[in-house]
Amino acid sequence: MTERVHITTAIFYCNGAPHVGSAYEALAADTFARVLRRKLGHNQVTFLSGTDEHGDKIRRAAVAQGLAPKVYTDRMSEIFRQAFAGLNVTAAARETPAVDFWVRTTDEVHEKFVQQMLLRTYQRGDIYFRDYEGLYCVDCERFYTEKELLPGNLCPSHNKAVELISEGNYFLKIEKYRGQVLAHLKSNPDFIRPERYRNEALNMLAEPLSDLCISRPKARLDWGIELPFDTNYVTYVWYDAFWAYVSEPATRMGLETFAREIWPYTEHFIGKDILKTHAVYWPPILLAAGLPLFRHLNVHGWLNFGGARMSKSSGNVADPVSYERTFGSDVLRYFVMREIVYGLDGDFSEERLIERYNADLANDLGNLISRVLSMAARYCDGQVKTAPQRVLDGAYEGVNWSAIERLPTPVIDRVAEDLDFKRALDDVWAALDAGNKYIATSAPFNLAKDPARLDEVAQIIANLLEALRVIADALQPFMPVTARKIFELLNIDQSRAHAPYGDGLKPGHKVRPPVALFPRIEKTSKP
């Protein structure tokens, strides 16, 4: 892992409100960013997200509401930002403005940067003009070849008929760079991950590519960034949106410095539906502008709802804001990270979320916190009476205390190296299981009946309080609000929150009384 990382989500197209599917991508990228900040240092990580605001779909959505496009996008971008901020996505929450970016493609800084890249590429001879006739999908805002379409000339993404359009446009020479991109992909096996998506990209790049149309005539569409070398055209919305990954940080620190020190260490998080644009179009766009390629393209699957892919066009969307208000931000964060294997499709349902909430959060996590703090108050006057110690594996039947002692290292490594969010949380829950079994087998509530054994009780309680601390430490990237609440109950600040097991809580330390963090949700019976 490099000592410097730039993390991006896709730039979310704001022709409709965000849904849980888009929130999943933002939450995965945010969790990854939080883990890397723990591993590398806070200022070694930049995290960028934002909204894609140009193009015909945006214009049509604005017209449908009787609004000017900019008024509409001002409103929609803020809806996205607030939704993600409510889920503690740091780029949207702007917790650390020195290293986080919320980019809008209508920002003046971005528009000027896109024009700079267009002119730079044009002057290098990789943009040219020609007349063109092609099959165009308005919803995708791109041209298709006949072999890419479904029978009946239907768009493969939207199942709608494409339009035949004839017009003059500017094109980017992407076939010129296909061999270079293909060679990079072959020599860097983890450039696109998981591997199944790398194999898809290799197939896409195996045959010659048609050059990419990167303009739209103003006579047909004027809601876009004007070409710096032809005022009769605006740039293609995808060409515009890609540069959002670069525009603001590069403008802030200077393009050459950014291209040398930051950009080669970029981690893109995207959905599998935009694999082609990022694996086939984006690398040639960068190379044509004289810039290096990024480090990784991290591709996640679709989030299904009711058996179908969750999307704005299908209308089967779940509102992340409603779940945040109902259950709290950490519950949604936890559910999608624990329930879904990154890279595979996953299912979202409120019923399954409530099952996870009751079993994992209320029973396992919440119950352990409540029991330990209650026993600390009852048997130890709310104090750590003695230094926490190791509990040898096998000393108590079924108790694997090493699952606790090694936290948070396996959690950080699984996420940082393998994007294995689910198994990282499995490690945390193995530690919770060890803590709960330790209580059951050591039975401090029985030992406390004998005054001669109160020292044993104090040792058990000290070990458990320290276990809660390292469990909260490991949970922090996934559930930042919950981790903060546990630290508050343990009465510790960040200076001791991240210490290895045994180096955190000291004799004489006072903890607070328990608070129910996750009250059970009783299911209502259906009539």
Mean pLDDT of 402-406: 97
Cα–Cα distance measured from residue 444 to residue 352, given in angstroms and rounded to the nearest whole number: 35
Cα angle for residues 98, 103, 104 (degrees, 5° grid):
150
pLDDT of residue 303: 87
How far, rounded to the nearest angstrom, does the alpha carbon of residue 72 sit from its chain's CA centroid? Answer: 26
pLDDT of res. 309: 58
Residue type, 499: A
Fill in the DSSP letter of residue 154: B
CA distances from 207 to 189, 280, 427 (A): 19, 11, 43
Give residue 426's Cα distance to chain centre. Answer: 19
- What confidence category does residue 349 fall into, taking pLDDT thresholds of 50, 70 and 90? confident
Give residue-wise pLDDT tens across range 427-437. Answer: 999 999 999 99
At residue 526 the predicted structure's pLDDT band, cuts being 50, 70 and 90, is very low
Structure confidence at residue 16 (pLDDT)? 87
The residue type found at 430 is A
Q: Using one digit for the tens of pLDDT, what is the confidence trace for 220-229?
A: 899 999 999 9
Read off the pLDDT of each residue in 476-505 and give the average, rounded to a whole number.
95
**What's the rounded Cα separation, in Å, for the pair 256 and 4?**
16
Check residue 527 and give its pLDDT: 34
What is residue 1's predicted lDDT score, i.e. its pLDDT? 55
- Please determine, for residue 66, whether its predicted confidence score (pLDDT) is greater than 70: yes
Asked whether the beta carbons of 300 and 343 are under 8 A apart, the reply is yes
Nearest to 103 by CA among 225, 312, 210, 249: 249
Torsion of CA 47, 52, 53, 59, to 10 degrees: -160
Torsion angles phi and psi, residue 139, rounded to 5: -65, -40
C-alpha 280/C-alpha 204 separation (Å) is 7
Q: How confident is the model at residue 157 (pLDDT cuts 50, 70, 90)?
A: confident
Listed in sequence order, the residues at least 6 apart from 332 whose beta carbon sits closer than 8 Å to its beta carbon are: 20, 23, 27, 87, 320, 323, 324, 353
Q: Find how far residue 46's CA is from the centre of its chain.
A: 13
DSSP class of residue 310 equals: -
N-term to C-term CA, the chain: 54
DSSP 8-state symbol, 330: H
Domains, the chain, in order of start with CATH, read: 5-330 (3.40.50.620), 350-497 (1.10.730.10)
Give residue 20's pLDDT: 87
Q: Taking the CA atoms of the chain, what radius of gyration do you get in angstroms?
A: 26
Contact call for residues 442 and 466 (beta carbons, < 8 A): no
182 closest CA partner among 95, 269, 309, 287: 287
Highest mean pLDDT among 2-6, 303-307, 318-322, 514-518: 514-518
User: Poorest-confidence range of 80-94, 103-117, 175-189, 456-470?
Assistant: 80-94
Q: How far is CA 195 from CA 180, 188, 191, 242, in A?
A: 20, 11, 9, 23
Backbone angles phi and psi of 359, in degrees to 5: -75, -50
Calpha distance 305→351 (Å, rounded): 12
Q: Report how far residue 99's alpha carbon sits from residue 47's, in angstroms, rounded to the nearest whole number.
A: 7
Crossing angle between the packed helical segments 409-418 and 421-442, to the nearest 10 degrees: 160
Helical ranges in 365-453 per DSSP H: 367-380, 402-405, 409-418, 421-442, 444-447
Residue 313 pLDDT exceeds 60: no
Q: Which residues of 429-464 are buried (b: 16+ CB within 10 A; e: fewer)?
A: ebbbbbbbbbbeebebeebbeeeeebeebbbbbbbb
Structure confidence by residue, pLDDT tens digits, 28-50: 999 999 999 999 998 899 999 99
- Mean pLDDT across the stretch 386-398? 92
Whole-model pTM? 0.92
